Amino acid sequence: MSQSNEHSIPDLKRLSNAANYHGLRMLVYFSVFAAMDAWYEVSALLLANALSVIAALIVGAYLSGIFHEWGHFVGARISKSRSPIVRKPKGTFMFGFDMKKNTSDQFLWMSLGGPLGNLLLVVLVYVLLPIDSFGRAALLAMIIGKLVAVIVFEGPIIFRTFKGGDPQIELDKQLDNGALDKGQKAGYLATALLWVLVI
């Protein structure tokens, strides 16, 4: 497809493509977890239990990424920022954010949407799923751990931007000081501790 034709794809069509792409993958991922969880429920096999936990961790990480990205996107669109949807989403990535043309307020709306998306997922899983198995406990622990990782990395950026900092500079600071790795480690530690506490 030529570049001109690519740019001519309507925004609504791109949104539909992204929703279908992520929706199908969420369905597949969660179906695998549900199958492992059901297998353990009916068999009580150690292998089924182990596989349900592994599936839960993978699914929890993926769902967290999707809800986080869509939360950012909703925040960006609420603030009417320049946030073009990509023609073909890959992984969790689905849109761009113009740091030069968008304002700090628009950046804050976009940034806050991500953690709120993670928080929404935590609430949905907690409310809709009885946490009465090793796998379900692992699912809840992982999505809370991912929320912790997001807060550790993105929280200071949001706070300093709110206090008047430049969004790009604050983002670069976090990337340069290793906050991304620190957030990941904090998230995995929180996941492990929460899983132990829940079970």
Q: What is the pLDDT of residues 137-192, one digit of tens each?
A: 999 999 999 999 999 999 999 999 999 999 999 999 999 999 999 999 999 999 99
H/E element holding 92? none
pLDDT at 7: 55
pLDDT at 2: 38
- Rounded to whole angstroms, what are the CA distances from 82 to 31, 43, 54, 98? 35, 52, 38, 6
Give the global pTM.
0.92
Does residue 31 register a pLDDT over 60?
Answer: yes
Quote the tokens at residue 166.
């430049």
Q: Are strands 93-95 and 85-90 parallel, antiparallel or unpaired?
A: antiparallel
- Rounded to whole angstroms, what are the CA distances from 88 to 7, 59, 85, 111? 12, 22, 9, 22
**Which among 66, 80, 198, 97 is positioned nearest to 139, based on CA atoms?**
198
Does residue 113 register a pLDDT over 70?
Answer: yes
Mean per-residue pLDDT of the chain:
93
pLDDT at 18: 95
pLDDT band at 9 (very low <50, low <70, confident <90, very high): confident
pLDDT band at 198 (very low <50, low <70, confident <90, very high): confident
Number of separate domains in the chain: 1
Beta-carbon contacts of 150 under 8 Å, excluding residues fewer than 6 positions away, are 68, 114, 115, 118, 183, 187
Q: Could you tell me which residues are beta bridge partners of residue 85?
A: 95
Alpha-carbon span 168 to 121, nearest angstrom: 28
| Reduced DSSP (H G I as helix, E B as strand, rest coil) percent helix, strand, coil of the chain, to 5 | 80, 5, 20
pLDDT at 199: 78
Residues 49-87: pLDDT tens digits? 999 999 999 999 999 999 999 999 999 999 999 999 998
CA angle 18, 22, 27 (to 5 degrees): 145
What range does the domain containing 170 cover? 3-198
